[in-house]
Amino acid sequence: MSREPRGDGTPDDVTTTYDLTTADVTTHGATPGAAGYRPEGLDDAFADPAEPAAPDAALPALGLVGWLRWAWRQLTSMRVALLLLVGLAVAAVPGTMFPQRPQDPAGVAAYLVEHPSSGPWLDRLGFFDVYASVWFSAVYLLLFVSLVGCIVPRTRVHAAALRGRPPRTPRRFGRFPAQGAGTASGTPQEVAGRVAAVLRRRRLGVPGFRVDVHDEGAGTWSVSAERGYLRETGNLVFHLALLGLLVSVATGQMLHYRGQAIVVQGTGFANVQAAYDTFERGTGFDPADLVPFTMRLDDFEARFDPQTLQSRDFTAYVTVTEPGGEPTARTIKVNHPIVAGGAKVYLQGNGYAPALTVRDAAGEVAFSGAVPFLPQDDVYTSRGVVKVPDVSGDQPQVGLVGFLLPTAVEPAEGLWRSVDPQPGDPLLVLSVWAGNLGLDTGVPQNVYRLDESRMEQVVDDDGQVVTLYVRPGETVELPDGLGTLTFDDLPRFVALDLRHDPSLAWLLVFSVLAVGGLTASLFAPRRRLWVRAAPGQGPGAPTTVVTAAGLARGDDVGLQPELDRVLADVLDAPPTAGDPDPAGTGTTGPDGPQEART
């Protein structure tokens, strides 16, 4: 029970009794006019309201502007940004499930033929060009806007916090997780100055604290210090880097190009769209902007393990001529591209390209050139097609389909295979087709496949398929008087992959920034330290009494050692681990434990 004059207008004869076991409160001697009195500190959850709550007033309608503000706040929240990021990943899944028209137009055409009912609908919905579709672009742009709207306000707040001062020193330190106390020689102002110098000092390359020294009066000085803004800075850098990645990816998709070309040894390549076997580009790239450099394959060297026949090294020796420059000898290896005309040139593959000459029945040269045969296994058993459309008169066109065996052996009669990828005993094994190759139908054809719909395979009098066996330097007669075939030489070819993407350097920069920012946001500690230096009391008292406390965001095992290190540099004796505020009158505020209010 307590009786004391009240400073809030309550009569002095009012006595308030606190029953701590039941949390009941009884007020004795109160007049009817004091019915609304509440004991100070009593939580309203344990008492009935003095007056009934007024009914809620009718809220005005939001209106168009209000709804737009609400939608903007929702869009720029971090929760929506994360949902959009997940949605973007989900929206990209169809791009891996269905052929994409910019990369594989033939695959899209084949899918439409094989799925006549669902294919057109998928095409209308953009599933064959996912990354340029309206719905994918909408998610992408919404994510971009959400990140901008989320990051900009946080950046302004963080910049203001960096310019601000550390929080003032609380009055009592009793409930802080890290505490220390001791005595120091010198006046409180001098001790506070030494503490500030210690806190500002860099340690192991880590920036020191932001420090504020304050005169509290009566000879007492306090130091408040804070560090760990790197945590929020790293978080903002991570999100800004994510925004940069989005911009870089979009820029790369618009301005990139990529093409593949096969170059035979002794021949050249010009960087024009018509010279590519396959070519795809971004919507913002004009093929007329291709840098017109040329490249010639001078030689190709392949090394294999003699025991296991596994590949050891591939080297292409080329001569590159940039516009207005002199021819330059360059070397391309696997995973070691060269840069020409702003594009990286990769060595993607290699093989053999037999040089053949086909004469028609009239003895005229109908075809002459090197034909790439694509390797099918580790010993370079290669498959290829030779199309001979330019025959004289009404003669049927000729197609030759078969295999090149670099080192041929015949383990059984009529059964041939290669036993080594190097050209030890090259042999061409071909079947002959005659008819119409279909090259004048206007429908694109795969150069490595023969359209047999208008062709007939040539057979002998017994109905057996005619097979030709030709070695370098040999000439054989084609069946049915179709002409002759000469195997002139066996040069190598290389498959080159040319890529130009101006965003790659920026992708690397933003990726490194994202990793660095995320690391800082996860591991940089946020700490606040306060030190109070007060004059000693009583005769024989030490010059200055020092008390200190620390607070961290979350669990921080390094907080107490940090505080002890600071105190050890200024105290006359090691700091004590006792509670510098034994009364324990501190309370907890929005920024952590604060002084008790009286």
The whole-number pLDDT of residue 61 equals: 74
Does the structure show a pLDDT above 80 at 589?
no
What is the largest distance, in Å, between two alpha-carbon atoms of the chain? 134
How far is 210 from 101, CA to CA, in rounded Å? 57
Instruction: Name the residue ranges covered by the structural domains of the chain.
Output: 1-48, 63-161, 170-227+526-594, 253-352+496-508, 355-492
Report the percent of the chain where pLDDT is more than 90: 36
Beta strands in 206-352 (DSSP E): 210-217, 220-227, 257-264, 268-270, 278-281, 294-304, 311-321, 328-333, 338-340, 343-352
**How many Cβ atoms are within 10 Å of 263's Cβ, its own excluded?**
22
Does the structure show a pLDDT above 70 at 93?
yes
Taking only the tens place, the pLDDT of each residue in 413-435 is 888 999 999 999 999 999 999 99
Tell me the three state secondary structure of residue 203.
strand
Residue in 67, 129, 137 with CA at minimum distance from that of residue 102: 129
The whole-number pLDDT of residue 24 equals: 42
Phi (first) and psi of residue 186, to 5 degrees: 105, 165
* Residue 385 CB-half CA count within 13 A: 14
How far, in whole angstroms, is CA 117 from its chain's centroid? 37
Tell me the three state secondary structure of residue 134.
helix
Phi (first) and psi of residue 190, to 5 degrees: -65, -40
**How many Cβ atoms are within 10 Å of 563's Cβ, its own excluded?**
23
Does the structure show a pLDDT above 50 at 43?
no
The whole-number pLDDT of residue 439 equals: 83
Beta strands in 379-537 (DSSP E): 382-388, 397-405, 408-412, 415-418, 427-435, 455-457, 467-470, 475-478, 483-489, 492-500, 527-535
Does the structure show a pLDDT above 70 at 460?
yes
Does the structure show a pLDDT above 50 at 287?
yes
In degrees, to the nearest 5, what angle opens at C-alpha 249 toward C-alphas 248 and 254? 95
If you compute the radius of gyration of the chain from its CA atoms, what whole number of angstroms results?
42
Taking only the tens place, the pLDDT of each residue in 430-447 is 999 999 998 877 777 788
The whole-number pLDDT of residue 28 equals: 43
pLDDT band at 73 (very low <50, low <70, confident <90, very high): confident
pLDDT band at 59 (very low <50, low <70, confident <90, very high): low
DSSP code per residue over 367-378: EEEE--BEE-ST
Does the structure show a pLDDT above 80 at 476?
yes
**Mean pLDDT for the stretch of residues 289-308:** 93
The whole-number pLDDT of residue 76 equals: 82
The whole-number pLDDT of residue 205 equals: 59
CB-based contacts of 385, cutoff 8 Å, min separation 6: 371, 399, 400, 401, 447, 448, 449, 450
How far is 393 from 216, CA to CA, in rounded Å? 111
The whole-number pLDDT of residue 6 equals: 42
Q: What is the per-residue burial (b if ≥16 Cβ within 10 Å, else e) of 312-342?
A: eebbbebebbeeeeeeeebebeeeebbebbe
CA torsion through residues 332, 337, 340, 343, sign: positive
Does the structure show a pLDDT above 90 at 577?
no
**Mean pLDDT for the stretch of residues 53-64:** 66
pTM beyond 0.75: the answer is no
pLDDT band at 581 (very low <50, low <70, confident <90, very high): very low
CB-based contacts of 184, cutoff 8 Å, min separation 6: 191, 194, 533, 542, 543, 544, 546, 570, 571, 572
Residue 421 near residue 406, CB atoms below 8 Å: yes
**Mean pLDDT for the stretch of residues 542-546:** 81
**How many Cβ atoms are within 10 Å of 207's Cβ, its own excluded?**
12
How far is 1 from 565, CA to CA, in rounded Å? 47
pLDDT band at 207 (very low <50, low <70, confident <90, very high): low
Residue in 383, 359, 363 with CA at minimum distance from that of residue 371: 383
CB-based contacts of 597, cutoff 8 Å, min separation 6: 587
Residue in 325, 252, 136 with CA at minimum distance from that of residue 502: 252
Does the structure show a pLDDT above 80 at 511?
yes
Residue 353 near residue 493, CB atoms below 8 Å: yes
Does the structure show a pLDDT above 70 at 334?
yes
pLDDT band at 494 (very low <50, low <70, confident <90, very high): very high
Find the range with the poorest average confidence among 19-23, 176-180, 233-237, 547-551: 19-23
How far is 376 from 349, CA to CA, in rounded Å? 12
Q: Between 1.10.287, 3.30.420, 3.40.50, 3.30.2030, what CATH number should domain 170-227+526-594 receive? A: 3.30.2030
How far is 19 from 37, CA to CA, in rounded Å? 17
CB-based contacts of 384, cutoff 8 Å, min separation 6: 354, 371, 372, 373, 374, 401, 402, 403, 404, 448
Residue 422 near residue 406, CB atoms below 8 Å: yes
Residue 497 near residue 356, CB atoms below 8 Å: no
